[in-house]
Amino acid sequence: MKSIENDKTELGKAHLTSGKLSLEEANVRLKQAGESEFPLCIFPRFIQDTILELYENGNYNIDYTSVSILTALAGIIGNSYHLRKHIEWVENPSMWVVLVGKSGQNKSAPLKTAFKAVKNLQKQYDQEYESVIANYNPDSGEKKPSKKKLYSTDPTFEALINIHKQNPNGMILMPDEFKSFILNLIGYSGTSKQSQFLSIWDGAPISLDRKEAESSSLSMPCVSIVGSIQDDVIASFKAKDIKDGFFERILFAIPLKMEKKYVKRTNPNDYTVEQFHSKMKDLLDAVTQKNNTEELVLSDMADELFINEVNKHVTPSNKDSMISGILSKLDRYILRFALVLEVSNSFFDNLPIERVGESAMKKAIMLKDYFYVNALKLNNMVLNVYEDNSKEGKVLQVIKKIGKKEFTNKEFIQMAGHMGIAKESYAYQLLSNTKLAYKVQKGVYETEVLN
């Protein structure tokens, strides 16, 4: 491929900040400039082309599309491939992902595009089931046909396990309302529900022994979760975190610019998008034909890269417990990223899938860096909105304006509205999640910040 080292155009100038690049690589960097820090180079060329085509002509955010596709690949691969680090450490490819942004930022369209192959196959399964069940005679003594599902939107935990049993390769959970899904986990009875999902993330065997769920057991869970949520909502939920590592297991896609875009007059190129859908279908078809789990190992160079990267996390982790929580989960995600990239890129390049190599590990580390930055962004959202003791802190501004050590939630809400800081529901969220005041009785709060 032509070098751009001596190219004097704007395209050629990209190598000055990004190193020596090909024309195609430089073109990608320039299109992303100021829009996204997602490392598009982790993907094969046809996926990169699709992401940029949808960005330029379809009003799709680069981060949302990229992360959605990455999660779709992970969900498709499922239990067909695992990565064994050593005898006691095995990772499946599951990922928990949340697209974070303002209302109206077109977060749903990238998810729809990324998971089109999955949803089309699900539609086929549904039609086959309806045909079989229509001819089923409950008096025949035959076992009632089961319905195979690749994804679900709002199952109970018990239902999720039983649905997963019908599709051992794995499940994709795509809540229609991610806010409701998270609220259900972290509500008054949320602690136990969170712990159940923590076991699923770990890939640990699940056994529900309650009377109404005697058969709800699963030896090898592999559940990817993906959804979207507004930035202030996820920040409020994060502020309620009970510090059990649940939120540290979530990968956040937070664009550089959280803003609504003007609708463009052009449409995405049909051929580029259809080629993407066709190749994702090919991968899905290949995976559905596998009846076993194939374990891959790291190449020597990939193993060395992984160890060196994880060792870099030791010092910052020892200095800060918050950083430690994030990096400890990302250490494991590095292996999951590498597994997904090795399997998918090898498949699309028609190469044998034998082990996770150096290239996949380098790209996995790029992904780790991207999601690490976004985890820090989310923590800053929480600090800035809910826990900030500086003069800019929203809660502190309202408390100081009230001017009393003890106040009611009604006083807080009214003052926040009067100051133009927050309307009623948002003001109540601020008060509920702040660490600057605590509830002494129903509707009454007390603060120490005025002392």
* CA dist., res. 324 & res. 156, Å (int): 31
For the question of whether the overall pTM of this predicted structure is more than 0.85, the answer is no
Q: Which helix (H) or strand (E) holds 96?
A: strand 96-101
- Asked if 152 and 171 count as a contact pair (C-beta separation under 8 A), the reply is yes
User: Identity (one letter) of the amino acid at 328?
Assistant: S
C-alpha distances out from residue 342 to 157, 222, 244, 292, Å: 31, 18, 31, 18
* CA dist., res. 89 & res. 83, Å (int): 8
Closest CA to 51 of 290, 273, 304: 273
Please report the pLDDT score of residue 80 as a whole number.
97
Please report the pLDDT score of residue 7 as a whole number.
45
* CA dist., res. 67 & res. 362, Å (int): 17
* CA dist., res. 197 & res. 201, Å (int): 6
Please report the pLDDT score of residue 239 as a whole number.
61
Low-confidence ranges of the chain (pLDDT < 50): 1-18, 188-190, 213, 388-389
The SS3 of residue 84 is strand
Please report the pLDDT score of residue 181 as a whole number.
85
Residues facing 230 on adjacent strands: 101
- Asked if 228 and 111 count as a contact pair (C-beta separation under 8 A), the reply is yes
* CA dist., res. 394 & res. 398, Å (int): 6
CA dihedral 57, 59, 65, 66 (to 10 degrees): 60
* CA dist., res. 37 & res. 306, Å (int): 22
Residue 150 DSSP symbol: S
C-alpha distances out from residue 298 to 86, 87, 302, 346, Å: 10, 13, 6, 15
The SS3 of residue 98 is strand
